[in-house]
Chain A
Amino acid sequence: MSSEREIKQTLCRMCDDRCGIDVHMEDGRIVDIRGNKAHLWNKGRLCVKARAAVDMAYHADRLLRPLKRTVDGWEEIPLARALDEIAARLLEIREEHGARSVSVWKGEAIGFGQQETIARRFIHAFGSPNYLSNDSMCYAARYFGYKLVDGGWPIADLENSRVVVMWGANPPHAHPNMTQYITAARRKGAKLVVVDPRLSAIARRADYHVQPHPGTDGAIAWGLMHELIRTGVYDKEFVERNTVGFPDLAAYAHACTPEWVEHETGVPAAMVREVAALMGTAAPRVAAYVGNGLEHHENGVNSIRAIVSIDALLGAVDREGGCRFVPPVALRELTLYDELPLRELGPLGADRFPVLYDLRQECHTMTAMGAMLDGDPYPLRAMILTGANPLLTNPNTERVRAAFESLDLLVVRDLFMTETAALADYVLPAASFLERTELHAHAKHHVLSLTRQIHDFPDVQGEYRFWHDLGHRLGIGAYFPWEDETALNRWLLEPAGLTLEELEAHPEGITYSPLKPESRTPGPFATPSGKVEFTSRYLKDLGYDVLPVYKTPAYRGAPDPEYPFVLVTGARKLLYMHSRFRNIARFRTAEPGPEVEMHPDDARDLGVGEGDAVTVTSRIGSLVIPVRIMAPAEIRPGELQITHGWSEANVNLLTHDDRFDPISGFPLMKSVEVRVEKV
């Protein structure tokens, strides 16, 4: 008979939704993971990735010992010696090339918030402004769209809305439990509009599946604004009191007729009118959510700004059933941007993409490749990379590989020997979310939680322990005075008026701040004018368009007959999270490998059947990949989709690291011109 089962409650971090989980333990070993029914976000429900954390934690390929590259291959070395050697090399490189030649790169796999701020603190304490992360190509562009218009990114109040609009987002695969909230709204009679070039999982339930050509979403937003203004149903009082730039907005929208939208996007003019009318009737209870699908285009931020502007026309800003501003939790700040801003050292990319640095303090990873390879704008010689795998996730893989191979020192912390770790000088075993503690705020429900350390491995360090131990070897120990994560958590938490003990007693989280009552005169907004900004003086002063103007994507405006298809990349799949989890065997049973999604007419014209290999070629590179023939409604002819993260057919061999959204600096990854040939 098995021994007694103990249940420990914490949060899942297989993706960033951080659902409440019950971790079932027997004899100190994790045996099962189930949903925590008391958790406000997931209410006991979990996607099947959560259970796979057991497989991840005890995986046979898990890195459990520090490794050093030698002429004879990998050699296990004691952790303390690895840290000593790394510290010595970092000091040498700083001496030779200056502190800014050293960088850190934080990956999605270790999380955001606290784990990110420790890495930011470390690199500034060391003297370099070069903090790099996946955020310079994911998430931040949406933040900019909202920040520039509304002064912050409010939370879509999905479950209280009358119309839910999903722009380039597929919650069932990307944020699984968000789907519950859409169901709750629909069961109360809400209509669902899904804007996506593909018939995604959530589009299966849409009242309107608005299917634009990739990268043309901005035209739809402008067409909707045209209709709301033309029919006079926009919220004149809200616009008058709370916004700037309406006359300019209205003048630009005047030409954006539904017929123009149809020409630009392929979406029927009649559908644009119907959706606008639906929004007008439901206002202000229209909840829009913008997904990653909008970001990886040449004009992504402006598409998002245009979408966000619709909220203000509908008076849906900070209203029930629209979007709500949630006060941030009052935790202490770990970053050193006030004490040691280091802006004068030229953070990589900050000159060319000032918004990226001004608003998020993100360096630009694509610019960093040039610094590694060509010393442009200055040499980048060393990097400590934690929980990231840019060899699969950054655009133009061949250049990324060359850049990483050129470094004098590459240290990679990860759970597994990833494609990037394989290039490192030192590979250090990193803690999974089950092996460290962390404070988490769930903005949606404004609750704060503390995740628990469920188990541990001897040489596997959490993020804080690693940066602490390395910092103390580099003479910057004063910045890491807390003896362990618990002491750090206690310090971070002090201003919040909560104690660690209270959080430990409430694994489902504690409400940190009630929502403000909604108001017809919200604000002031955290924008330069204090109002919702249809037009941005800040952008104008930087040389950008004051309005979120629409630009026809290059593949439509100036098509190249050599590359007749347009490729979308990065559509989410249920079982994989970016480049992670391909090594979980039963995930492979369900979703066995990479594929290029293709319309049946294109497959017929190419003479290929399901599973046949094709070569896909862009101006950047090419790959060979099996074909998956979709149903005619699921994707348009001439359009393709390949999900990222597969080493067998890595789509980032095709994506651009030379064409960017001028505001965010995000690379062109979701409307890539390609040609396809049968193998």
Chain B
Amino acid sequence: MRIVAVDPDSCVACRNCEYACAFQQAGDFDRARAHIRVAYYPAERACVPFTCMQCAEAWCMEVCPAGAIARSEETGAVEIDAARCAGCKMCLLACPFGNIGFDEAHGVSGKCDLCGGDPRCVGSCISGALEYVEVEDAFAFRRQALDARLRHVLRLDKGRL
């Protein structure tokens, strides 16, 4: 299964992902409509992108009394069927990460559906902090970073980085 892997250490909080998602959801750049959120803390220079991880045991799906939440066989995304959603907001309460939003205009919950397998947030992520990858490959870059460091440490002409 592929997920939207998030690497805060590469994120610059440029907000392209939020705009792209908001555009996909609502045709505008109102960041409040985006399912991906990037928190930015200037004092710490911390950028924290967060989006639905499509939990294997999805509490939102389990709690939904209307049976409006189901896993896509194609992408593995946990999707909300707006036509069945009763607007009860139980899924918002259930999600431990706050990754489900509520569309007041239509009275339904909304969350990341991986755009059907081509997530717009990733396509607009110019830093490379977001990647749409098989879950087991998601953090391979961290092993690569370690490899690069070790290769340097182990080489013979020491003294330079």
Contact = CB atoms under 8 A, between A and B. Distances in A.
Interface residues of A, number: 46
- B contact residues, range: 35 or more
B12 A633 contact: no
Contacts, number: 116
Contact of A586 (B29, B129, B142): B29
B15 interface: yes
A183 B45 contact: no
Contact of B10 (A51, A199, A205): A205
B137 to A, nearest CB: 14
B13 interface: yes
Interface string B127-140: 11100000000000
Interface stretch (B16-24, B81-89, B95-103): B16-24
A187 interface: yes
Interface string A555-575: 000000000000000000011
B145 interface: yes
A179 B127 contact: yes
Contact of B29 (A172, A205, A587): A587
Interface string A619-636: 000000000001111100
B43 A51 contact: no
B53 interface: no
A219 to B, nearest CB: 24
B156 interface: no
B45 A199 contact: yes
Nearest to B33: A589
Contacts of B29: 48, 575, 586-587, 589-590
Interface stretch (A280-288, A381-389, A486-494, A642-650): A280-288
Interface stretch (A39-47, A297-305, A411-419, A657-665): A39-47
Contacts of A586: 23, 27-29
Contacts of B14: 47, 172-173, 176, 179, 201, 574
Contacts of A263: none
B149 A574 contact: no
Given A48-B23, A172-B14, A189 B148 contact: yes
A364 B15 CA distance: 37
Contacts of A575: 19, 29
B149 A47 contact: no
Contact of B12 (A172, A188, A189, A285): A172
Interface in A24-55: 34-35, 44-48, 51
B160 to A, nearest CB: 6
A468 interface: no
Given A48-B23, A590-B19, 17 more contacts: A46-B123, A46-B126, A47-B124, A48-B20, A48-B29, A172-B126, A183-B10, A183-B127, A186-B10, A187-B10, A187-B142, A188-B145, A188-B148, A202-B12, A205-B9, A205-B10, A574-B14
22 contacts: A45-B125, A47-B14, A48-B20, A172-B14, A172-B127, A180-B127, A183-B10, A186-B9, A186-B10, A188-B144, A189-B148, A189-B152, A201-B13, A204-B40, A205-B45, A205-B47, A589-B28, A589-B29, A590-B15, A630-B42, A631-B42, A634-B42
